[in-house]
Structure 1
């Protein structure tokens, strides 16, 4: 699944912000789902049924944003559907963005919002855990409310790699992985003119999680706190992980049917982004070397197709 954490108040001053985020989230949800399903052979041991949609609720938004979110997304006391991956069984069964979730296999899904309460993902995370548990048992029935009418959605999740990809509102052009989740800012999504480009970004971060880089780097003495100095041994391990993630990302993107023809030029432009180049300089391979390795990986992948 994917989830959106909104702890700022950008939407309060931008009337179209909610609409734009829903559009971006739909792209992220569909790309992440497609990558997860197509690359199941890479994660056989960890494969699990994928829901293919992103729930959200009013409690995860900052108090100043809640009136706008409630109006734009029709959120209230129920978990809502922010986006649905277009190729997923849930979409084929009729689940749509804007639906409100009442229960899954009879298990209630509810949220509690206080007007001034701090943003929390607790209710969405709990709903996702319940949905995932039911999906692991087989077919599910989602009871949803839309336009005041109740209906049931029946589907079985397709097996795929874990793909918890979250859209994070922010002006920084960035994406990162924490070992379980992938975060992409809406700024970097906006810098991806095509889904081919977005797939490469998301696949790179998914690769970090699938390859357990966080755990492997910890064994090499690399702290989770990126502000702390990194030893020469640790720095070499970090750069090797980035190269490995690039190579895996190319494989994953190609396996999902995305076009790799413009991948190298897209990455070259992304690496020149103001702010990103400086942030990556200390821990990532030098840009020219990285692009050369990426181009070689694309050639290998293309030759196998």
Structure 2
């Protein structure tokens, strides 16, 4: 979790900005453009992720209050001085993204790179941090927001211009979404969905990208990492979790207002291999078989759709892993 938060910050800057040169020795316009490109991709990820976790919140056992805000901390960059100059801030904390339709975005106050001086009355700039490359303070800031919202009806943010805004959260599934500055994979770790900036699906139409994100989100919602910790990571077990994640994709998409057929189109276009980054070679079935599993859920989704257009997967989705017991070390 924490390594990814660091990578996301560092990845926003191009190689020249990472050289630790003073701001007047580099082309700030180039660095500003690099940050903007990163944030544009991150905005797409956060917008889709927010839509999925809020639309499915009623069916998530671990739903939490959320506001859809991502921050950034200059202390996480290799050259905080360069970062502050590129972002146009005097302190260290600023807005990274506010997911479209989220409470943060609806206020109109959280534009990109706007400097933040206080969170719930506390000045995060005063928290201790290393001179550079310190991702821990940003994690602390996000954790403090989440913890505050658990026991309070709203949260106040103060900005460098002296203004302040109060935000009331809405309920969302607990999973977070993180863009990393390197890599071409999409993965889930139990708490986050992590997407690399070179992941091919980022160039696809939003509904197809939403399919890829929904697959990774499904791993978190179905608690597959914990299940594999208990039952073992045999090829059979990993394939079972991958099939479940594929099959839950269209449920999550449909509830969020996407056409569930987009999950099929994603597989048809992306055609992922049967290998797996985190687990075993051959842990995924062929892409055509995976698309078939997705299609197999369409009738069930339609059969239980309620008057609001939602289908309760927590009650009606059939868990394949529920029938598997014991730790398996082989096929």
Provide TM-score, normalisation by structure 2: 0.76
CA deviation map 1:132-179 (0-9, x unaligned): 12222111111122xxx2211111110110131110122x33111111
> Number of residues paired by the alignment?
281
Partner of 2:290: 290
- Mapping for residues 102-181 of structure 1, pairs under 5 Å: 102-110=117-125, 117=132, 119-136=133-150, 137-145=152-160, 149-170=161-182, 172-181=183-192
Q: Does 1:250 align with 2:250?
A: yes
CA distance in 2, matches of 1:210, 1:30: 18
What is the CA-CA distance between 1:114 and the residue it aligns to? 5.8
Partner of 1:38: 55
Q: Does 1:57 align with 2:73?
A: yes
- The alignment partner of 2:296 has SS state of helix
Structure 2 vs 1, CA of residues 75 and 162 (structure 1 numbering), >3 Å: closer, same or farther?
farther
Which of residues 1, 15, 19 is equivalent to 1:12?
15
Structure 2 vs 1, CA of residues 169 and 57 (structure 1 numbering), >3 Å: closer, same or farther?
same
What 5-or-longer segments of structure 2 have no aligned partner? Answer: 17-29, 310-331
Are the equivalent residues in 2 in contact too, given 1:54–1:82 (CA < 8 A)? Answer: yes
CA deviation map 1:3-33 (0-9, x unaligned): 5624458612575332111111111111111
Q: Which of structures 1 and 2 has the bigger CA Rg?
A: 2
- Alignment RMSD (CA, Å): 2.5
What is the CA-CA distance between 1:288 and the residue it aligns to? 2.3
Q: Does 1:206 align with 2:222?
A: no
CA deviation map 1:81-115 (0-9, x unaligned): 11101201121122322222211231222266666
Provide TM-score, normalisation by structure 1: 0.82
More divergent stretch after superposition (11-20 vs 154-163): 11-20
What is the CA-CA distance between 1:55 and the residue it aligns to? 0.6
Structure 2 vs 1, CA of residues 61 and 49 (structure 1 numbering), >3 Å: closer, same or farther?
same
CA distance in 2, matches of 1:6, 1:134: 24
Structure 2 vs 1, CA of residues 264 and 9 (structure 1 numbering), >3 Å: closer, same or farther?
closer
More divergent stretch after superposition (92-101 vs 150-159): 92-101
Are the equivalent residues in 1 in contact too, given 2:9–2:72 (CA < 8 A)? Answer: no
What 5-or-longer segments of structure 1 have no aligned partner? Answer: 223-233
What is the CA-CA distance between 1:126 and the residue it aligns to? 0.9
- The alignment partner of 2:65 has SS state of strand
Which of residues 85, 94, 107 is equivalent to 1:80?
94
Structure 2 vs 1, CA of residues 32 and 129 (structure 1 numbering), >3 Å: closer, same or farther?
same
CA distance in 2, matches of 1:74, 1:302: 50
Partner of 1:227: none
Are the equivalent residues in 2 in contact too, given 1:103–1:144 (CA < 8 A)? Answer: yes
What is the CA-CA distance between 1:263 and the residue it aligns to? 2.7
CA deviation map 1:175-215 (0-9, x unaligned): 11111122111122663422212222222112111111111
CA distance in 1, matches of 2:200, 2:54: 21
Structure 2 vs 1, CA of residues 186 and 299 (structure 1 numbering), >3 Å: closer, same or farther?
farther
CA distance in 1, matches of 2:11, 2:54: 32
CA distance in 1, matches of 2:100, 2:129: 30
Partner of 1:230: none
**Larger strand percent:** 1
Partner of 2:42: 25
Are the equivalent residues in 1 in contact too, given 2:39–2:97 (CA < 8 A)? Answer: yes
